[in-house]
Structure formats: structure tokens, C-alpha cells
Amino acid sequence: MKRDRAYYLDTYIAGRLYADADKAWPSLRIGTPVRLVREPDNPKDPEAIAVYVNIEEQLLKLGYLPYRRTSPIALFLDMGWEAAFGATISRLDPSATYDRQIGIIIRILRNNLDGER
């Protein structure tokens, strides 16, 4: 059985206060795809990775991957391997602390890597 994706990281979205997460919240669902975008010029973290969601043809920033979780993914994104990763909403918990209400799972997508060989 060929697997087309491998689990990589289950984490939360930090920095919601500085993003559009509250605007996107009513439309978020578990399984909603999100996009990882490098922000190398971020003054707080040169390895920052923002998390975006497309809601009704509008790209909204949900926040960031937590500070200590970004280095390996940032390296791959900097090398142009955006298609190697797939990320989806995994948790929506309004009772959690504000920065831990939205969880995401990041997977490595093997099929996308196979095509680049």
C-alpha cells in the first residue's frame, strides 16, 4: 500500500492577536486546508512561518507556527519546497487559552516530492 503523506507535526497557531484569526473563526472547520508562508523579514523571528487560510476567496492570516517549531520547516520552505507540505486545521477549541485554540497538523506529501525527481 503506497502512502502519499506522512505525519510531521501537530501544533497550534500562535500570534493570533496580530492576525485575522477572529475574522476567520466562524468559517474554520477541522480539515480546512491552511497555507504555510515564510516571513524571513519578520523582526521578531527570522524563521517565522505564517499560517493562512482561504475564506471566500480572501486569504486571511491566522497567526504563526510557534517559535521553537519553525527551523526545519523554514529551511525547506526557503529551498522552494512549499509543495512538500500539506497542513490542515486539526483542532478548534474555544475553551483553550487564546493562542492554543486553533490546532494544525502538518504532513509531508510524498507524491509532490516524487514529481520533482
Domains of the chain, each with CATH number or no CATH: 5-114 (3.30.70.2330)
pLDDT reported for residue 111: 65
Average pLDDT over the chain, rounded to an integer: 88
pTM here is 0.87
Q: How many CB atoms lie within 10 A of CB 95?
A: 5
pLDDT reported for residue 112: 53
pLDDT reported for residue 6: 81
Q: What is the mean pLDDT of residues 43-71?
A: 92
- Digit-coded pLDDT (tens) for 74-101: 999 999 999 999 999 999 999 999 889 9
